[in-house]
Amino acid sequence: MKRKTLNRILAVLVIAVLFLGACTKEMSDVRLAAKITTSQLLNVRSDSATIIGFVVAANEGITEEGVVYNTSAAPTVTNNKIKFAGISSGATFKVKVGGLTFATVYYARAYAIIGGNVLYGAEVTFTTLPVVPTVTTDSISAITTYTGTGGGNVTAAGGADVTARGICYSTSHNPDVSGLKTSNGTGLGKFVSPIKSLTQNTVYYVRAYAKNSAGVGYGPEMSFTTKSFPVAIYALGDGTTAGWDNTAAVKIVQSASPGVYVGNLDLLSAKSMKFISTLGAWQPQWGQATGAAVGVLGVNLGGGSDPDAILTPATADKYKVTVDLGNMTYKIEQLFPAALYALGDGTLAGWDNTAAKLLPMSATPGVYVGTLDLIGGKSLKFISILGKWQPQWGQATGAAAGKVGVNMGSGSDPDAITTPATDGKYKVTMDLVNMTYKIETQFPTALYMIGDGVGSWDWGTVNLPLIPVNSHPNLFWKIVYMNASGGFKFAPEKAWGNDFGKTGDATGGIFAKGGDNIPVPGTAGYYMIVVDLAAGKISIADPKVYLMGSVYDPNWNTANPAGLFTVDNANSLITLTKTLSAGDVRIYAWHTWFTDWWQSEFIVLNGQIAFRGTGNDQDRVTVTPGPYTISLNFKTGAGSIQ
């Protein structure tokens, strides 16, 4: 039984081996057809690309594989080809195609030669990248102390648009676009690049540049050295004291700023001026740039046309001349003396030019303002140096009053200025910028009374300031209690020296201003004093004090009798008793020389009389409806509304 079972197992094994052998022989006889693909394109550069091929079902019959390429479609092995010479990774192989032209369309495909037949993979297309532009650098021309002219030529764009071009410059080698550069358009071709704001006597390195999407291309490096400034320049022309004699031109020295020349020149009116750097030579020559704005320099360094002449100012005088060869500009400014001095028989100095009276310069250069004591109807002139007669300023001959004439030292003296008809202090303005003068009455800002008719002649014990009339600097007023006898005077300060009184007798209570004491009227009591400094008049009158406004007069009439205060000399008071409406209590003193009530207004505030003077509106004092008595004591300054 066991023997039969073993035999059966052996028989099955033999059959299985025979079957498997038959199957293996059949499989080895079946082969797939060979096929190649172009599977991937890598690392496209401006001159190369990498292509990967893949052979499907390859056998021992492959004799060559690689990549073919061309600038037209369907490249073959008769065109450009790169054989794969490495060790393939399985069925794939990688080939780098080099020596390509930038920014060019290429067609490529993998190939394999099998049994003498060439198989090709699918075609791929790629464009090589652009390269930076090609540019040349021009040599630098028109070199000055601060400028030069460069340029270049973009000869090849590199396969992409040239989006910027210009020159780079530096005091170090190999300048690039990260530093100083110019911008001079786009595209191919030549360009010119002015270079500005350089440093004099300095070596600069220059490269032209052009930029596209691939980057920046640079031209060869050039170098140049800026010129040094001349030690001095010289002014000449019929507007100068040298005339057109280039051997006698007037020297202007270089300032602490290189290339900036500053000098003080005597210039003639409305003539011509130019500058040279070498006495006796006409070039280099600087002047007004042709066709440019006034103040812009033009230059002929020796091989071109001379610039235009600079026109000197309309008034002959001494001027500060500034020439900036770095920025090619010039400036002519009138050079004004530090001060003027007044002399003439219309001044306290007379014609003594060593004792002339100072007229200082104001905050505005060339404008001199001061207060002078002038004698009426006489002569006045000005000098700038004590003891010297020129320069000398006065009335311009043949011109309207107020026009200044001048003799700087080589011409005729101007006419004398005629002083005002009345002696006094005057504000004198000499404007040498516009060559005008003005003489104005100078009124003090304060005025004080003194005298035994109003107290005493001792400034230490008397304090009687007058009140300025608002908007009328020539007018002052005061209500003052006068004694039965005595006199008084006025002064702009509480001191002697500029005091004044009257001259002659009064007419209608009005005295002419003079030097004598003014007598009191003879009856003790309150009087109103008004001084008109412009007219030279002094008025003594009974005081007129009025109430103003809607508290009693809705029409606000000036000098309304219903609002007139009563003078009570026995009690040293001026009062008004009246039933008032609700409103503001406003009071004023009145005189026929005044023009508006508020210009002499005052109020009662905190028990005191408060004068408006030259100020603005005062605080308001209001009342409710009812009867009131307003009392004013001008001796003590006290006041009340009850």
pLDDT of residue 334: 81
Q: Which architecture characterizes domain 545-641 according to CATH?
A: Sandwich (2.60)
pLDDT of residue 31: 46
SS3 state at 192: strand
Q: What is the 3-state secondary structure (H, E, C) of 459-528?
A: CCCCCEECEEECCEEEEEEEEEEECCCCEEEEECCCCCCCCEEEEEEEECCEEEEECECEECCCCCEEEE
Residue 527 pLDDT > 80: yes
- Amino acid (1-letter code) at residue 382: F
pLDDT of residue 60: 57
DSSP state of 89: B
Q: What is the CATH number of domain 35-127?
A: 2.60.40.10
pLDDT of residue 58: 52
| CA separation for the pair 163, 185 (Å, rounded) | 8
CB 568 within 8 Å of CB 575: yes
pLDDT-based confidence at 88, cuts 50/70/90?
low
Residue 444: is the preceding peptide bond cis (ω within 30°)? no
| CA separation for the pair 214, 207 (Å, rounded) | 18
User: Regarding the domain delimited by 339-441, which CATH topology (the fold level of the hierarchy) does it fall under?
Assistant: Immunoglobulin-like (2.60.40)
- Amino acid (1-letter code) at residue 466: L
- Amino acid (1-letter code) at residue 90: G
pLDDT, tens only, 396-430: 999 999 999 999 887 899 999 999 988 888 999 99
- pTM (2 d.p.): 0.44
pLDDT of residue 90: 63
Nearby residues of 416 by Cβ (< 8 Å), 6 or more positions away: 344, 379, 380, 381, 394, 395
pLDDT of residue 81: 93
pLDDT-based confidence at 25, cuts 50/70/90?
very low
CB 640 within 8 Å of CB 605: no
Residue 19 pLDDT > 50: no
Nearby residues of 603 by Cβ (< 8 Å), 6 or more positions away: 585, 586, 587, 609, 610, 612, 618, 619, 621
pLDDT of residue 33: 60
User: Could you give the residue range(s) of every CATH 2.60.40.3610 domain in the chain?
Assistant: 545-641
pLDDT of residue 401: 96
Nearby residues of 507 by Cβ (< 8 Å), 6 or more positions away: none
pLDDT, tens only, 47-61: 999 999 888 755 557
Beta-bridge mates of residue 459: none
| 134-225 CATH pick, 3.40.50.300, 1.20.120.790, 2.60.40.10, 3.40.50.1000 | 2.60.40.10
DSSP string of 304-358? SPPPBPEEPPSS-EEEEEEEETTTTEEEEEE---SEEEEEBTTBTTBT-TTSPEE
Q: Which architecture characterizes domain 448-541 according to CATH?
A: Sandwich (2.60)
DSSP string of 114-176? ETTEEEE---EEEEPPP-PPEEEEPPPBS--SS-EEEEEEEEE--SS---EEEEEEESSSS--
* 31-40, 68-77, 321-330, 369-378: least confidently modelled range: 31-40
Any idea what the Cα angle at residue 68 is, between residues 62 and 71, rounded to 5°?
A: 165
User: Could you give the residue range(s) of every CATH 2.60.40.3620 domain in the chain?
Assistant: 233-334, 339-441, 448-541
| CA separation for the pair 91, 65 (Å, rounded) | 11
Alpha helix segments (H runs only) across 411-456:
none
Percent of the chain with pLDDT over 70: 94
Please, what is the end-to-end C-alpha distance for the chain in angstroms? Answer: 161
pLDDT of residue 543: 98
DSSP state of 183: -
| CA separation for the pair 35, 45 (Å, rounded) | 29
| CA separation for the pair 343, 387 (Å, rounded) | 11
pLDDT-based confidence at 24, cuts 50/70/90?
very low
| CA separation for the pair 368, 431 (Å, rounded) | 6
User: Could you give the residue range(s) of every CATH 2.60.40.10 domain in the chain?
Assistant: 35-127, 134-225
pLDDT-based confidence at 3, cuts 50/70/90?
very low
User: Regarding the domain delimited by 233-334, which CATH topology (the fold level of the hierarchy) does it fall under?
Assistant: Immunoglobulin-like (2.60.40)
| Tokens encoding 559 | 């000098």
Mean pLDDT to the nearest integer, 365-376? 93
pLDDT of residue 86: 78
* 11-25, 284-298, 301-315: least confidently modelled range: 11-25
pLDDT of residue 28: 39
